């Protein structure tokens, strides 16, 4: 009901929240505000999703906003990740002291940029106009850059500068691609005024110039792919993820990368339409597989737990991209994997963040003996990393299994073999790291270590709900949920 | 109006080669300003259906931002931060100019390839756009100073602007304004970042940003 208003409401609530957070008198209030805003957004997103599933789409503002089953699913995942990460921010920043203390100026900066990033990502997902989508994407880069260096230090500034420059250049490339896409419709005699609407570009009765569409898709894939973290243009990602405060790392990994991938996927239907399915799918499969292989190579040699998780993000975004290239079944699996990866990776970052606070370092040797040091986050680390590398009965296993079936069904044997080989490497090396971290002997305490800090109820609530969701979806997928994923997949290609 | 486009094309090429060969950052910023003003004029010339409010706003906004405000911000930043006033390239000036010549050849070739698909776009401007983008990218990669990377990024924006103007005849004003706003914020964000980097490292050479690897 009133679903078109809920699009406006979602944007307005997040933006107002960003402004209000600047005026709050205490850091604690900012942390409460971001949880409250995320909870309101979740209710609005659920309402929007239900309405989209009932009616097929929701549109507002003269079709400038257009949400279909595909974007509605992304909106729900976005808000879920933000709710989890906002709740965790309350736990995390309560334990930060000294030069990393959560003082009032830091809290104001964090609240405004955090909710500002939420607004920008929301704008990307609900926009029908590819130009506005691009504006939103660039805005996420600019807003989130200072979240990485929330506490300016040499390392965080280095990570932030790399992120800023590499992603700005990447997104500039995406803009060239957007122009090519809009031009492809014009020179074939279409209507120029709405050439930038993706609903227009994907509609079957529009003729697209194949040469220009080919250029468009390559620029889009490289441009937005930079921000998705696809190899070999992922170089900013491990730095940014490892240096940012943990709630920010979780949000980057859990959703920011997916936003960029969403933008690429909006160009896939027109590319398939103009050039046939093989061109776009081939590129998606190539970059997806390459990312999985490159990430597997780096995961073996990591010593920093947050960098390890960052390379896992490269791997999993590669898996999702690969899935999108494997036809309707693969798309279904990729969407399911998007949700699983987002929840699972956020939880893994939370655990490493809290354990790292207690150990005074994110070095994996310093984190060893986590289960003894802190029962709650030790279990969270164990569970989330096991889920992340695809252990049954967690839902990540299910989505990867579906993806394998899609690859086998499509006869993509080479991809199947490469994927299995890389997954085995990741599985073994991540398991080795994990066993040391979870069951090893605790190291002698270092400066800055604060062992045994109380966690409170909200920490337990976060862990239980995230693990519960991963387990539940691993053993039982409700009919309405698989229906929702099916209609989201149908947006990108023929119906299942 | 091919004569005006000819001149813009020629002067734009000069600004690119000047940026490749200039060793003082202050001079680079002034060349960038000239390039911004020059390329901001392109929509006024290529729009043959009269000078509507939209075109005037677009050209005026671009000239004001890229020709005046951004260079002013960059000059202020240079004055506020302490570091050598030289460009300090990873790639020498002679090699840079040679790269420029090769890039020019490649731009002409690429523009010829694209010409059949984009029949409405003036060929010279197409070539200029590709050339400016490639030089901008080269500046980002080949210069040590963070300020020069921002200059490279703005050249990239200049090239993309020309490309957008000549290929997409009717972009909604809202989108144009959004793009301009993003460029505006980007320059300020990069400026603040440089300010922090300068304070923390006592320099703004990006080759000092080398602690994070693997």
Select, from the ranges A54-58, A122-126, B47-51, the one with the highest average predicted confidence (pLDDT): A122-126
Looking at beta carbons, which residues of chain B come within 8 Å of A242? Answer: 212
How wide is the angle at C-alpha B39 spanned by C-alphas B152 and B192, nearest 5°?
35
Q: Identify the band that residue A192 occupies on the pLDDT scale cut at 50, 70 and 90.
A: low
Tell me: do A156 and A122 sit in the same domain. no
Q: Which of B118, B179, B189 sits opposite A164 (nearest CB)?
A: B189
Q: Which of B163, B172, B197 sits opposite A161 (nearest CB)?
A: B197
Q: For Cα atoms A273, A276, A281, give the angle at the middle one, nearest 5 degrees.
A: 105
CA atoms of B16 and B141, how far apart (whole Å): 15
Q: Are residues A228 and A315 in the same domain?
A: no
Mutual angle of helices A305-324 and A413-439, in 10-degree steps: 160
Which residues span the domain enclosing A227?
Answer: 148-275
Among all residues of chain B, which has the CA nearest to that of A181?
Answer: B168
Contact flag B193-A172 (C-beta cutoff 8 Å): no
Same domain? For A162 and A32 the reply is no
Kindly give, in sequence order, each residue whose CB lies less than 8 Å from that of residue A103, ignoring residues fewer than 6 positions away.
A27
Our CA-based measurement puts residue A167 at a distance from the nearest CA of chain B, in whole angstroms, of 11
Nearest to A155 among B167, B193, B212 (CB): B212
B168–A179 CB contact, under 8 Å: yes
Sign of CA dihedral B36, B37, B39, B42: positive
State how far Cα A198 lies from the chain centre. 22
Q: How far is C-alpha A234 from the chain's CA centre?
A: 14
Higher pLDDT, B187 or B83: B187
Over the stretch B155-186, which tens digit does the pLDDT of each residue have? 999 999 899 888 876 677 777 777 888 888 89
Helix (H, G, I), strand (E, B) or coil at A363: strand
Over residues A272-282, mean pLDDT: 90
What distance in Å separates residue A142's CA from the closest CA in chain B?
6
Whether the pLDDT of residue A188 is over 60: the answer is no
Please compute the mean of the pLDDT values over residues A16-37 and round it to a whole number: 95
Q: Radius of gyration of chain A from Cα atoms?
A: 21
A191 domain-assigned: yes
Q: CA of B36: how far to CAs of B40, B149, B150, B154, in Å? A: 6, 16, 14, 9
What local confidence, expressed as pLDDT, does residue A267 receive? 94
Distance between CA atoms of residues A116 and A93, nearest Å: 19
Domains of chain B, residue spans: 2-203
Cβ contact, residue pair A179, B164, below 8 Å: yes
Total number of domains constituting chain A: 3
DSSP codes joined into one string, A182-209? HHHHHTTT--STTTTBHHHHHSTT----
Q: Are A182 and B133 a contacting pair at CB < 8 A?
A: no
- pLDDT, mean over chain A: 91
Tokens 């050439």 appear where? A195
For residue A216, what pLDDT band results from cuts at 50, 70 and 90?
very high
B186–A142 C-beta distance less than 8 A: yes
pLDDT digits over B100-151, tens only?
A: 999 999 999 999 998 888 887 889 999 999 999 999 999 999 988 888 999 9
CB atoms within 10 A of CB B25: 22
Shared-domain flag, residues A161 and A226: yes
Per-residue pLDDT at A448: 57
Quick check: A191 pLDDT over 60? Answer: no
Instruction: Give the number of beta-carbon pairs within 8 Å between A and B.
Output: 131
In a domain, A141, yes or no: no
* Per-residue pLDDT at A452: 57
Task: Say yes or no for a CB contact (<8 Å) between A135 and B196.
Answer: no
What the block records as the tokens of A159 is: 């990570």
Q: What is the pLDDT of residue A496?
A: 41
Instruction: Look at residue A285 and tell me if it is in a domain.
Output: no
**Is A388 in the same domain as A309?**
yes
Reply yes or no on whether the pLDDT at A495 is more than 50.
Answer: no
A172–B118 CB contact, under 8 Å: no
Predicted ipTM of the assembly: 0.92
Put simply, whether the predicted model's pTM sits higher than 0.90 gets the answer: yes
Report the pLDDT averaged over residues A307-325. Answer: 96
For residue A351, being part of any structural domain is answered with yes
**Predicted pLDDT of residue A289:** 96
Q: What percent of chain A has pLDDT over 90?
A: 73
Last residue of a domain, one of A96, A126, A156: A126
Chosen from A127, A157, A173 to mutate, greatest number of chain B CBs within 10 A: A157
Q: Does a structural domain hold residue A116?
A: yes
- Domain assignment present for residue A296? The answer is no
Helix (H, G, I), strand (E, B) or coil at A29: helix
What does the pLDDT read at residue B170?
67
pLDDT in the model for residue A450: 60
Residue A236 shares a structural domain with residue A338:
no
CA distance B95 to B143: 13
How far away is chain A from the Cα of B138, in angstroms, using its nearest Cα? 12
| Cβ-defined contact of A161 to B209 (cutoff 8 Å) | yes
Q: Are residues A122 and A165 in the same domain?
A: no
From A259, A131, A265, A280, select the one nearest A213 (Cα to Cα): A280
Residues with Cβ < 8 Å from B93, sequence gap 6 or more? B20, B21, B23
B185, B179, A247, A15: which is closest to B193 by C-alpha? Answer: B185
A61-75, A89-103, A180-194, A422-436: segment of lowest average pLDDT:
A180-194
Q: What was the pLDDT predicted at B145?
A: 86
Contact A250, A85 (CB under 8 A): yes
Is any Cβ of chain A less than 8 angstroms from the Cβ of B114? yes
Distances (CA, A) of A437 to A381, A384, A449: 9, 13, 16
Closest CA in chain B for residue A301: B214
Residue among B157, B168, B214 minimizing CB distance to A186: B168
pLDDT-based confidence at B57, cuts 50/70/90?
Answer: confident
- Kindly state whether residue A292 falls inside one of the protein's structural domains: no
Q: Answer yes or no: do B171 and A182 touch at CB < 8 A.
A: yes
Region label for A150, one of left (φ > 0), alpha (ψ between -120 and 50) or beta (otherwise) = alpha
- DSSP for A114-170 reads HHHHHHHHHHHHHB-BHHHHHHHHHHHHHHHHHHHTSS--HHHHHHHHHHHHHHHHH
- Is residue A287, in this structure, part of any structural domain at all? no
CB-based contact A214:B114 (threshold 8 Å): no
pLDDT of the residue at B90: 84
* C-alpha pair distances (Å), B80 with each of B29, B83, B86, B196: 15, 10, 15, 12
Non-local (6+) Cβ contacts of A32 within 8 A are: A90
Tell whether omega for the bond before A232 is within 30 degrees of 0, i.e. cis: yes
Is the peptide bond preceding residue A393 cis, with omega within 30 degrees of 0? yes
pLDDT value, residue B44: 86
In this structure, are A86 and A157 located in the same domain? no
B53 closest CA partner among B167, B151, B159, B177: B177
Give me the percent of chain A exceeding a pLDDT of 70.
Answer: 95
Whether residue B168 and residue A215 make contact (CB cut-off 8 A), yes or no, is: no
Average pLDDT across chain B, whole number = 87
CB contact under 8 Å between B168 and A142, yes or no, is no
Going by pLDDT thresholds of 50, 70 and 90, the confidence category of residue A451 is: low
Residue A189 is predicted with a pLDDT of 53
**Shared-domain flag, residues A355 and A483:** yes
> Same structural domain for residues A480 and A362?
yes
B31 in contact with A, Cβ within 8 Å? no
Please check whether residues A322 and A405 belong to one and the same domain: yes
**pLDDT score, position B78:** 87
């Amino acid at each position: 009901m009133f679903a078109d208003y809920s699009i406006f409401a979602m944007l307005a609530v997040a933006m107002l929240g960003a402004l209000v957070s600047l005026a709050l008198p205490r850091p604690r209030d900012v942390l409460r505000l971001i949880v409250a805003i995320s909870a309101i957004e979740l209710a609005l997103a659920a309402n929007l999703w239900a309405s989209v599933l009932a009616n097929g789409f929701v549109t507002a503002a003269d079709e400038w906003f257009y949400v279909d089953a595909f974007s509605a699913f992304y909106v729900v995942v976005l808000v879920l990740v933000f709710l989890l990460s906002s709740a965790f921010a309350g736990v995390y920043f309560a334990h930060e002291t000294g030069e990393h203390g959560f003082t009032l100026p830091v809290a104001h900066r964090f609240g405004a940029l955090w909710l500002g990033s939420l607004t920008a990502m929301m704008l990307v997902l609900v926009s029908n106009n590819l130009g506005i989508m691009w504006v939103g994407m660039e805005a996420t880069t600019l807003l989130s850059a200072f979240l990485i260096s929330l506490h300016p230090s040499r390392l965080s500034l280095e990570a932030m500068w790399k992120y800023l420059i590499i992603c700005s250049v990447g997104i500039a490339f995406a803009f060239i691609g957007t122009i090519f896409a809009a031009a492809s419709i014009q020179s074939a005699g279409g209507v120029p005024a709405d050439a930038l609407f993706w609903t227009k570009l994907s509609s079957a009765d529009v003729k697209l110039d194949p040469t220009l569409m080919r250029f468009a898709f390559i620029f889009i894939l490289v441009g937005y792919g930079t921000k998705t973290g696809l190899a070999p243009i992922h170089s900013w990602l491990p730095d940014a993820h490892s240096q940012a405060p943990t709630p920010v790392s979780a949000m980057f990994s859990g959703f920011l990368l997916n936003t960029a991938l969403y933008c690429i996927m909006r160009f896939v239907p027109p590319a398939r339409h103009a050039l046939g399915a093989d061109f776009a799918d081939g590129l998606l499969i190539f970059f997806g597989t390459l990312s999985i292989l490159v990430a597997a190579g780096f995961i073996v040699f990591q010593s920093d737990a947050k960098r390890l998780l960052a390379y896992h993000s490269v791997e999993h975004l590669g898996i999702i991209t690969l899935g999108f290239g494997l036809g309707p079944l693969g798309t279904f699996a990729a969407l399911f994997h998007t949700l699983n990866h987002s929840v699972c990776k956020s939880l893994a970052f939370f655990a490493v963040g809290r354990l790292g606070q207690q150990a005074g370092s994110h070095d994996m040797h310093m984190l060893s003996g986590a289960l003894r040091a802190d029962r709650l986050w030790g279990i969270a680390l164990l569970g989330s990393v096991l889920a992340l590398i695809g252990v049954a009965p967690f839902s990540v296993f299910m989505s990867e299994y579906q993806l394998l079936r899609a690859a086998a069904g499509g006869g993509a044997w080479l991809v199947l073999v490469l994927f299995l080989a890389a997954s085995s490497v990741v599985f073994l090396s991540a398991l080795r790291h994990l066993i040391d971290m979870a069951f090893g002997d605790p190291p002698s305490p270092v400066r800055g270590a604060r062992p045994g800090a109380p966690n409170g109820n909200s920490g337990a609530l976060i862990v239980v709900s995230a693990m519960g969701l991963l387990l539940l979806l691993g053993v039982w997928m409700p009919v309405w949920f698989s229906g929702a994923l099916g209609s989201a997949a149908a947006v990108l290609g023929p119906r299942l | 109006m091919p004569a005006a486009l000819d001149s813009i094309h020629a002067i734009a090429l000069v600004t690119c080669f000047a940026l490749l060969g200039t060793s003082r950052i202050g001079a680079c910023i002034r060349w960038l300003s000239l390039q911004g003003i020059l390329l901001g004029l392109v929509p006024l010339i290529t729009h043959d259906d009269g000078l509507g409010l939209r075109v005037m706003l677009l050209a005026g906004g671009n000239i004001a931002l890229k020709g005046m405000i951004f260079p002013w911000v960059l000059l202020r930043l240079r004055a506020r931060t302490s570091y050598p006033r030289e460009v300090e390239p990873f790639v020498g000036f002679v090699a840079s100019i040679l790269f420029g010549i090769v890039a020019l050849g490649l731009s002409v070739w690429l523009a010829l390839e694209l010409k059949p698909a984009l029949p409405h776009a003036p060929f010279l401007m197409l070539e200029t756009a590709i050339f400016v983008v490639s030089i901008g990218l080269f500046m980002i990669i080949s210069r040590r100073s963070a300020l020069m990377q921002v200059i490279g990024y703005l050249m990239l924006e200049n090239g993309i602007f020309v490309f957008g103007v000549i290929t997409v005849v009717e972009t909604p004003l809202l989108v144009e304004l959004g793009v301009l706003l993003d460029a505006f914020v980007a320059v300020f964000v990069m400026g603040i970042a440089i300010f922090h980097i300068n304070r923390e490292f006592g320099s703004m050479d990006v080759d000092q940003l080398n602690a994070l690897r693997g």
